[in-house]
């Protein structure tokens, strides 16, 4: 069921990106989509009869630890991208006086 769950959450996140009028909500929707992708990758590395990847006995079988290492990097990079986009949103608010996409396009043109 978990690839289906990731698919549903990616769809909801993209729907939120399309309909949201607030920049803060758009940034949150980007984060939601990223979480769904991370969940998908972890589910691909998962085995139903595997153990968590801590080796204390070489005879047991463990799940693949490579996607987990990559996804930790993805979480950290996502948090820094969030911080950068919030700084840019503060700059936009001080220039145009609003955070609404429609009013921004009005005042720009």
Partner 1 sequence: MNTLIGNMMQVLLIITTIVIIKSKSNIKLVVFFSLFSLIAAILYYLNKSPDVALAEVAIGSAIMPLIFIVSISRQREFVVINHTEDDFLDNKVGTGYNLLMDFTKYYNLKLRIYNIDLNSLKGIFRSRNVDLIVEKSKADGKYVLKGKESTVLINKLEQMIKDIPNIYIIKISEAETYD
Taking the least distance from each CB to partner 1, the nearer of 1 and 59 is 1
* Under 8 Å between Cβ of 63 and 46: yes
Q: Nearest 5°: CA angle at 98, between 93 and 102?
A: 125
Among 3, 66, 100, 107, binds partner 1 (CB under 8 A): 107
Q: Nearest 5°: CA angle at 46, between 55 and 42?
A: 105
Q: Which residues in 9-48 contact partner 1 (CB under 8 A)?
A: 9, 12-13, 15-16, 19-20, 22, 24-25, 28-29, 31-32, 35, 38-39, 42-43, 45-47
Among 50, 60, 66, 100, binds partner 1 (CB under 8 A): 50
């Amino acid at each position: 069921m978990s690839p289906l769950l990731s698919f549903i959450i990616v769809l909801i996140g993209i729907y939120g990106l399309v309909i949201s009028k607030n920049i803060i909500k758009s940034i949150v929707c980007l984060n939601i989509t990223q979480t769904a992708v991370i969940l998908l990758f972890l589910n691909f590395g998962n085995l139903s009869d595997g153990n968590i990847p801590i080796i204390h006995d070489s005879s047991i079988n463990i799940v693949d630890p490579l996607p987990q290492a990559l996804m930790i990097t993805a979480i950290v990079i996502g948090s820094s991208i969030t911080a950068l986009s919030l700084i840019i949103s503060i700059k936009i608010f001080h220039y145009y006086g609003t955070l609404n996409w429609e009013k921004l396009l009005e005042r720009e043109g």
